[in-house]
Amino acid sequence: MSTPIPIGPLPGPLVDADWLEQRLSAPGLVVFDASVGAHRRAEQRIPGARPFDIDGALSDHANPLPHTLPAPDRFTEEMRSLGVNDADTVVIYDGAGIYSSARAWWMLRAMGFDQVAVLDGGLRAWAEAGLPLESVGSAPARPRGDFTARPRAGLVVGSGEVARALADPASVVIDARSRGRFSGVAAEPRPGLRSGHMPGSVNLPFTELQHDGRMLPEPQLYAAFSSLTGDRAQLVFSCGSGVTACVLALGAELAGYRELAVYDGSWSEWGLPSDLPVVTGPESRGPLS
């Protein structure tokens, strides 16, 4: 690995492996592995990467819904225990390409931390570039950080805000689940949830914003969103449990959209038996010209 160059400002919410490799050991850079599920059991990591455990301490386990955002004081404590400082720059990756790393990026943004980016292509892109890896072992001792959460209103929303967005002609709710789950022809993977989608929402599976684990070029991202949103600038994203909705948020930000929100409960909440309306079939508003 070459001598690190100064971190400098982030080029945007996405960085590539070359950008990260040049700065990997620079003071003030924190690299997080935000992998979930089977990818958390990987035996290798980017050197120095710290765990951002969305399945564990970085979800609110007092909430019966999966992957919900912890309270600000709890988030502050976890970041400090991981050695994160307010002045640091954070780069996040995951083992799936771009999946749960986008959730970690959005969580930090929602907590008022802006100097954060996602590694395009994740761990696979790093390895395919022939860059060094290290074995996953026990975490080294590091000084506590001084990170302080400063929550931003409106970046993470609940079902009430989503219901208002569905009725607002200036807003659009975009669902990141597969087309089969959205239309109701494919069963939900979590038991007890209804099949279908919110009336008035539209569907953009998060996988359609990527190729080979990397985000599409910005013009293609803009085309994907603008075909659904028309002139509506306020975008609310939903998915199964609030994770891949953040991939849509990342794509929309890259495409130039700025009024963005993620529905934290997503289908894990809306799909429960309740008075919240559910319909089946194709998207009810459809693509807009």
Instruction: Give the catalytic positions in this structure.
Output: 239
Give CA–CA dist 287/62, Å, rounded.
38
> Residue 106 — φ and ψ, nearest 5°?
-70, -35
Nearest-angstrom CA–CA distance, 236 and 227: 16
Name the nearest CA neighbour of 271 among 195, 162, 181, 165.
Answer: 195
Let me know if 276 is exposed, middle or buried by CB neighbors in 10 A (0-12, 13-18, 19+): middle
Angle, CA 90 vertex, CA 86 and CA 94 arms, to 5°: 145
Q: Which two tokens stand for residue 273?
A: 């038996």
Evaluated on CA atoms 108, 9, 46, 130, the torsion sign reads positive
Report helix angle 245-254 to 218-229, nearest 10. 110
